[in-house]
Chains A and B, each alone.
Chain A
C-alpha cells in the first residue's frame, strides 16, 4: 500500500490529462471516465462499465465519502478524468478529489456576489472540461475557467447582471472550442439567453435570446412589451449531435409564472426544445411543449439523443419527458413530433394533437380560490436527468405522480431584481431540505422510477417510492438502473423489470444524478445525498 500514492503521482504525471474535444466526442469509448455532465453528448447517462452486475451488486460497499462544507443541496454531477474527480461544493467551490479514495487534491474557493439571488437555492450542477481547463458557471452569473491541475483561475467573465435576477446553476457544455451556458432567473423577469464563449479567452462568440426581440420572428407571441421580462431561462445542460452540428437545449417557464394574462400569446421560446447551430447559435428548429404556460412547466430537461428504428426506418430521435407530464419523441434533425403521451397524472390538457400541441382542458386555469391542477408546479418530472439504454431500449424517468398544486389567480408588477411570479400555488409537497428526511402523505403525490418504451410510450415497469424524488437516473451495460429518493435511499434496480437488487441508506435526499467510473480496473458508482458525495464499489 505504501507504493500506491507514489504510483498515483507517477500516473498523474505520465498520463495524457488533456481532454481534447475528440475525447469528448468519443466519451463512450473511455467509460472509466465521466467527461461531461450527462456522461456523453447524447445525454443518456449510460455507462458501458459492466463489472457491477445484477449477480454481484449486493456486494457494493462504500469506498469513501466527501462531506461538502455547505448545507446547500448537493446537485452537482461530478466529472471523472483519469482518476481525478471534479465536483462543486455549493455554491461555487470547485473540488478535485482522488476518485479512488476521496482525498482532496485542491479546492478552488469562489465567493459569489451577495447580489446573487437564485430563486431556488445557491446550487451548482457541475462542470465542463476541455484540455486542461475546467469551466464553472456561478450563481452570480459569471463563467470561470480554472486550471484542472492546480485549481488556479484562468479567466472570469461576467455573463449577466445578478442584481437583475440572473444566475447560473448549470454545468456548461463544451462544443469544439466553445463553452456554452444558459442563464437562470425565470422567477425574476429576466430575458433568458444561451451564450457561447471562446474556451481559450472567455470572449463571447454568440448569443441566442430565448425570447425574440422586437421585429424578430416570434416576438409577436408576447402581448405588448411582456417579452422584455418574459423569463424563459436555461438552467440545465443541453445535448449535442456532431453529425448535425446542432446543440439542443430545454428552455424554462415564461414569466410572470402565474399571471399568464399579462403575457398573452404562445410566449416563444419558453417551454421549448431549441436546436441551435453549434458554431453560430442560429436557431435551426424549435418545438414548444407548453404554449402559454400558466403552471411553471419549465422544459429544462436534458434532451436524450437516441438512434432507433422508427416504424421501419432508422431515425435520429430525441426523447423528452417533460415537466408538463407528457413524454415526447421528436425527430432531432427537424423537430418533427413523432409521439407524445402522458407519463403521469395530467389534468391541464386532455391530450396532444397530431403536431404535438397540447389540447387545453376547459377550466384548467388559476382561479381566485385556487384551482387544483395535475401535475403541480414541480411537474411530472423536473430537471433531474432521465436515462436511456440502447441495450434495453427503455427510457427511464424520475417521475412524480398524483401530485398537484392549487393555482390562484392574482396580479404582480415587475420590479428589477424582485420575484416576478404572482400568487404562489399551494401544494402539499414541501421544498427539498437537505437536512431532513421528510415524512408526508402518499396520497398527496409520490415518486417513482419508471421505464417506458419510447416507440409506444407504454410504461414497462415502475419502482414506487413513498416520497417524490429529485434524483437523476444512471443505467449501465450490465442492465442496472441506479437512482435514489428524497427519503435518503440509493438503490440499484434491474433495468429490464424494475426489481430492487440493492440499496443503501445515505441519510439525506438524493438531488443529483449518479455516475459510474473506474480507477485501476475497479468500477465505482458515485452519488450525492444531503451534502455528501459517496462512492461505492464491489467489496473484495
Chain B
C-alpha cells in the first residue's frame, strides 16, 4: 500500500516524454495487445512476475521511444521476443500501455459510491465476502483489485459467463447412497472432486462413489441493464481498491 502514493506521483507527474494519444490509437493498440501480448502478459499486463504493463509505468522503459524499442526488438536473453510491428502499430501499442496509467487508481468518492452499491442496490454482499465479512457462496473478493484489472472486473459484472475461471465453477453431485452436494469446485481430477459446499464445508468426493455429477449454470447474474453505466463504473472503482488488506 505504501507504494501507491509514490507511484501515483510518478505517473501523474512529468510524464517522461509521454505524448497525447487519441482514443482511436488506444483502441487499436488494445486490439493488438490482446492478440499478440496477452498470451504471455495477461489481460491486465501483470501475469509475469516482476513485469507490470498494467499501470503505465515500466521497469525497463521510461520514454515512449524506450517502450517502442522493446516492442520492436524484444529483450535479449528473456522470453520477450522481437516483433514485426510497423511503426504505426507500435505507436498504438505504446498509446494503449500508457493509457493504463490510471487503471486501478479510483477516486475515493467513486469507490465510496461503489461500496454502497455493493452492499445495497447490487446485493453483491449476499454472495461475496470481503475482508472476512460475508458468505463464501461466491468468490472471496478481498484481493480482487490485485488479481484482476478493471476491464476484467467490468466484464465479470456485465458478461459474467465469458470469464468464469475453472476454480469458480459450481457442481451438483449425488453419491451412490443418495447424498446430494452442491458447491464451488476447488479441484477436479480424473478420480476425485473437491468442493466448498453450500454449508461452507470442505468436501472431498471420489468420482467412483458418485451416481451423477454435473456443472451448474454460473450463478453470477449479469448486471447489464440492472445498474447504470455510472453505477457499474463506481462498483469497479470500489472493487479495484480491494488489495487483500482491510484499510
Contacts and interface: CB of A to CB of B under 8 A. Distances in A.
Contacts of A354: none
Nearest to A411: B84
B167 A485 contact: no
Interface in A403-431: 408, 410-413, 415, 417-426
Interface string B67-110: 00000011011010111110000000000000000000000000
Interface string A493-518: 00000000001000000000000000
A351 interface: no
B166 A439 contact: yes
A423 B35 CA distance: 8
A259 B81 CA distance: 14
Contact of A413 (B76, B84, B169): B84
B190 interface: yes
Interface in B177-197: 185-191
A515 B81 CA distance: 38
A465 B191 CA distance: 9
A473 B82 CA distance: 38
Contacts of A418: 74, 76, 81-82
Contact of B74 (A419, A426, A488): A419
Contact of B189 (A368, A421, A425, A489): A489
A415 B189 contact: no
Interface in A455-507: 464-467, 485, 487-489, 503
Main secondary structure of the interface of A (DSSP, over half): loop
A490 to B, nearest CB: 11
Contacts of A420: 81
Interface in B37-92: 38-40, 73-74, 76-77, 79, 81-85
Contacts of A214: none
A441 interface: yes
A424 B36 CA distance: 7
A439 B190 contact: no
B17 to A, nearest CB: 26
A36 B192 CA distance: 36
Contact of B82 (A259, A412, A503): A412
A440 interface: yes
A489 B190 contact: yes
With most chain A CB atoms within 10 A of its CB, the pick from B74, B81, B166, B167 is B81
Contact of A503 (B77, B83, B167, B191): B191
Nearest to B207: A466
A420 B74 CA distance: 11
A22 interface: no
A423 B36 contact: yes
Interface string A131-160: 000000000000000000000000000000
A478 B192 CA distance: 28
Contacts of A408: 35-36
A440 B166 contact: yes
A117 B84 contact: no
Contacts of A415: 73-74, 82
B196 to A, nearest CB: 13
Contacts of B35: 368-370, 408, 423
Nearest to A427: B39
A473 to B, nearest CB: 16
Interface string B200-226: 000000000000000000000000000
Contacts of A426: 38-39
A419 B36 contact: no
B84 A412 contact: yes
Nearest to B167: A439
Contacts of B79: 419
A437 interface: yes
A461 to B, nearest CB: 16
Nearest to B80: A419
A487 B190 contact: yes
Given A417-B76, A419-B79, A467 B190 contact: yes
Contacts of B77: 117, 417
Contacts of B83: 410-412
Contacts of A465: 190
A439 B187 contact: yes
Given A412-B82, A419-B81, A466 B189 contact: yes
B190 A466 contact: yes
Given A412-B81, A412-B84, A424-B39, A485 B166 contact: no
Interface string B161-178: 000001101000000000
A369 B34 CA distance: 10
A424 B38 CA distance: 9
Contact of A487 (B36, B166, B186, B189): B189
Contacts of B189: 437, 439, 466-467, 487-489
Contacts of B166: 439-441
A488 B38 CA distance: 29
A413 B82 contact: yes
Given A424-B39, A489-B190, A503-B191, A439 B185 contact: yes
Contacts of B169: 441
A441 B167 CA distance: 9
A212 to B, nearest CB: 27
Nearest to B189: A487
B203 to A, nearest CB: 16
A424 B190 contact: no
A425 B76 CA distance: 21
Contacts of A441: 166, 169
Contacts of A423: 35-36
Interface in A379-424: 408, 410-413, 415, 417-424
With most chain B CB atoms within 10 A of its CB, the pick from A464, A485, A487 is A487
Contacts of A117: 77
Interface string B4-44: 00000000000000000000000000000001101110000
5 contacts: A410-B83, A418-B74, A423-B36, A439-B185, A439-B187
Interface of A: 117, 259, 368-370, 408, 410-413, 415, 417-426, 437, 439-441, 464-467, 485, 487-489, 503
Given A426-B38, A467-B190, 13 more contacts: A412-B83, A415-B82, A418-B82, A419-B81, A419-B82, A423-B35, A423-B36, A424-B36, A437-B189, A466-B190, A467-B189, A485-B190, A503-B191
The 7 closest A-B CB pairs, nearest first, are A411-B84, A487-B189, A419-B81, A424-B39, A466-B190, A440-B166, A465-B190
